[in-house]
Chains A and B, each alone.
Chain A
Amino acid sequence: AQSVTQLGSHVSVSEGALVLLRCNYSSSVPPYLFWYVQYPNQGLQLLLKYTSAATLVKGINGFEAEFKKSETSFHLTKPSAHMSDAAEYFCAVRGGSSASKIIFGSGTRLSIRP
């Protein structure tokens, strides 16, 4: 069965610092992986997705993620945090052969210190 585990329910960084949000996956088939962002009182917005092409995936708002099969990881990074990056971030995996099902992690809340 497919699943994702997000390490750290809350991450706090200073404005301008590196953002690193950790995600490990478990999948019985080659995974399709996603990162979503959720701002307060809003729905989810797709940041980026990995579909077995390039292992380094670039997304919106300066975020990128690297797929590492040997580590079963798909960590999200951004070189320089901005105050507007404060939000909840969810790692997700497609539900096996069923493209209809997206399985989400429990989320990581990112806070940015001035």
Chain B
Amino acid sequence: ETGVTQSPTHLIKTRGQQVTLRCSSQSGHNTVSWYQQALGQGPQFIFQYYREEENGRGNFPPRFSGLQFPNYSSELNVNALELDDSALYLCASSREGAPDTQYFGPGTRLTVL
């Protein structure tokens, strides 16, 4: 059984640019959640996608957006990058009926200069 994978592993961008992060969910999971983990802090919930629709959103501005595809993989897009967007971005997948049992990927480390 394949776990949650994320790409790229590391990414460096400059302020004002746009970035797309990718996540492949664990086999059999149809729900994907995204989290932002700043250095030295716990992860913060960005949003969740279930069957290609947004199913809950945290306190993040609209420049954070997402997509989920028919194969349940997902993208996180961030526009107009700010220095404070530098963080580890974690993707987690869960199966039907158990949205709070989430399996995390290794994350994408984003650095904004």
A-side residues, CB < 8 A to B, are 32, 34, 36, 41-46, 49, 90, 92, 94-95, 98-107
In the complex where A101-B58, A105-B42, A106-B42 touch, is A42 in contact with B106 (Cβ < 8 A)? yes
Question: Is B8 engaged at the interface, CB distance under 8 Å to the other chain?
Answer: no
Cβ-defined contact, B48 with A100, below 8 A: yes
| Closest chain B CB from A60 CB (angstroms) | 13
Interface residue? B2 (CB, 8 A): no
Give the complex CA separation of A59 and B60 in angstroms: 32
**A-contacting residues of B (Cβ < 8 Å)?**
4, 31, 33, 35, 40-45, 48, 50, 55-56, 58, 90, 92, 99-107
B48, chain A: closest CB distance, angstroms: 4
B103 x A98 contact (CB < 8 A) = no
**A91 nearest CB neighbor, chain B only:** B42
Chain B residues with CB under 8 Å of A107's CB are 40-42
| Distance between B47 CB and nearest chain A CB, rounded to angstroms | 8
Bound-state Cα–Cα, A92 to B101, Å: 12
Q: How far is the CA of A107 from the CA of B40 in the complex (A)?
A: 8
